[in-house]
Structure 1
Amino acid sequence: MSYGASAYARVSQTVLTPREAEAAVLIKAAARLQAIQDNWPQPLPAVNEALGFNQKVWTILATAATEPDAPLPEELKTSMAHLGAFVLTRTLDAMVEPDRDKLTALISINRELATGLRGNP
């Protein structure tokens, strides 16, 4: 097999669906927050980097889910808007007044939503 065909074969096996990609990013954000929480106290730049990543993830997720043309039921769009507002508020609060306990809800939400996106019970 040529190098190009071999590279294509590897990439084609790792292509994620949009739901899988969203789940993977949520798990990555949860893992970063978990590492900060597990090794508390952490330097403020490390805390803010992990929280900033979570903020970016949720800004994108909440915006995409609540777009008028998003293929979701209105009830789910509303729920995502509320959840996104909570996560972004909690993230900002943790940036302003860092506390390891503030990360627990963020980690849990990210993991639970990732589980749902993957279709796992």
Structure 2
Amino acid sequence: MRSAANAYARAANSALTAREAESAVLIKAAQQLQLIKDDWANQSAGLNRALSFNQKVWTVIAGAVSEPDNPLPADVKSNVADLSLFVFRRMVDTMVEPSAEKLGALISINQNLAAGLSGR
């Protein structure tokens, strides 16, 4: 029983904070898009899957900043909402007319927001 309690304590100490988890998910989405961008000829078939994952991530982000009880300052919430709109438009544009070049902005936005969340 004691070893189970110790294992739980270790897992609890290594659990990610909410910001770390958000950062990790953004990095994962950026990595999926980067893999496709880097090897477009062989990986472009996975584009819609990667864009769908990115869309889910940004749907959560956009929803979180629109919550009335979100503690972020109004200007930050507005900026993130505007950024979300840009991301959604870029994803739709990329689905309609796929190209590797269009992924660069999405990758950069994800990486930069992830860095901000992690304090880098």
1:41-90 superposed Cα distances (whole Å, 9 cap, x missing partner): 2243x110001000000010111012111111111111011000000110
- Within 5 A, what are the aligned runs for 1:1-121? 2-41=2-41, 42-44=43-45, 46-120=46-120
Aligned residues: 119
Q: After TM superposition, what 4+ stretches of structure 1 lie above 4 angstroms from structure 2? A: none
Aligned mates of 1:80, 1:3 — CA distance in 2? 44
Letter in 1 for 2:84: G
Structure 1 vs Structure 2 CA RMSD: 1.4
- What TM-score do you get using the length of structure 2 for normalisation? 0.91
Shift of 1:14: 2.4
Aligned mates of 2:33, 2:10 — CA distance in 1? 30
Aligned mates of 2:78, 2:36 — CA distance in 1? 31
Q: Secondary structure at the match of 2:47?
A: helix
Name structure 2 gaps, 5 residues minimum.
none
Q: Is residue 66–residue 80 contact of structure 1 (8 Å, CA) maintained in 2?
A: no
Q: Percent identity?
A: 56
Q: Secondary structure at the match of 2:88?
A: helix
- What TM-score do you get using the length of structure 1 for normalisation? 0.91
Aligned mates of 2:17, 2:102 — CA distance in 1? 31
**Greater alpha carbon shift after TM alignment, 64-73 vs 24-33:** 64-73
Greater helix percent: which structure?
2
